[in-house]
Structure 1
């Protein structure tokens, strides 16, 4: 628990304010122009959790805890009361992981599990800062593993997730899920709440497995940044019943390629508009959304194999994922 931190992020955003000056209201009253507004800046503070993974001050958390847009300050609070301003953030939007750096002596470290072997039913402990109350511990079990979500959860696709009934609430995101040895097995990320008006835990929470975090950290240590993968598939669509009948298929499973960027890895493999993707690296595709989920999990230099249907015939296409080129117009 000493290595688990609270993360507070200050976002500066542009907002519209309504004129409150009585003279302005009198001038524009009855003019037909309605209320008058002016533009201004406002700071908005969001929070979450994280944990120290080494003595040099590296804090691992969720990308959605850091957020996007104009981040002006990130503060990291330790359980011992020390507060530090963090810097040098790296984010992987595909994995929903991020790291920030603090500079401080005598930092505790949360050890990462060296084995990915976790069992359904074993004890699980969630640690974090729910509702900004401060360091909080809850206990439960591993309810399931390898949970895939073909539909977006917020802004992210999640795959191979760990499910737990340990209480996870808003503010727990980015905190560790640990085993009884105190080793981190997952990064708490999101929950099911039972309805859009409910905010608290109902015993169905999900954590990113520590193996994904290791890949993310290795990428930063090796390349000094997160390389953005690029395959070149620009558009995917669901297969309609009419298209399935035309292709003489028994179901509407799959994703129809709507566009491929010229001279991309997918283009060079022969993948083209109108091809039907049935599987990606051996995992069946049931919809365009699930195909995007699988594609988003691809890493730079990874080999990718597609099973496709083209003009009624099945084919296997292969390519290697590369780093996204820099410049406008790349998909």
Structure 2
């Protein structure tokens, strides 16, 4: 699934990316070259100096391009990615996050680190994420409602974040929580779910090279409705595992409580790997609707969303039972 992909015959980057974003991408890369030259002329920086004040809160991001790409499918239009969302803290409608998420304060932002780690406490986001080491990865996000998007995410490997806190041998899982503010998040005034939103991964899943902590998409800072300022992207799992607007990370020894498993355990399990052989109780998972590609555009669902390199994480497990 992770390949360097040349455009199909007769298809250019302009055909799969909206024109204004394609042009903006060229500007971003040019700006990155200028910044690199400036850094080379100004002498070495310490890590603290490099990160200090480097978090953009709007506009374009500087990042390096990578070979992470899906093997088929055009990028989902930016308007669909930012206008068709699940973020129940702002309402259960797909357009509610885009309408109401601007009320959420994302600057300043802090993250609480707790549990089985040598370094814990509350840290500014700039001390958790190195914004000078961002990279782009094109991943497919598959939602349990049987729809999918292909998105160029910008972020850092989650492992690079977790390793700096030096988890101990007792840290078998990593738990995450979403920011909660009843004044800013109109959806949490209703008991749709047990707030705050919680998710978790096994430690080896969290440390896998594919797992990304995203801070942007399409070359720009994450919009609030997409999980600003930091959200998880676990491309081989269903989208609800990619928890948004994270403000707490805990290293724990027991499987953590996760929101959807708690809310509907018959429908949503802890692992939540994309598995077309296990139907949701209310619909099939064998195919998916491609958002932004027309009302009838569908594709067959792939095991692990096509990311076969994670299969070894689940060797010997019954993936119908451990859903």
Into which bin does the TM-score normalised by the smaller protein fall? under 0.3
Which one scores higher on RCO, CA 8 angstroms, separation ≥ 6?
2
Bigger radius of gyration, 1 or 2?
1
- Output the TM-score relative to the length of structure 2: 0.23
- Higher percent of residues as strand: 1
TM-score with structure 1 setting the length = 0.22
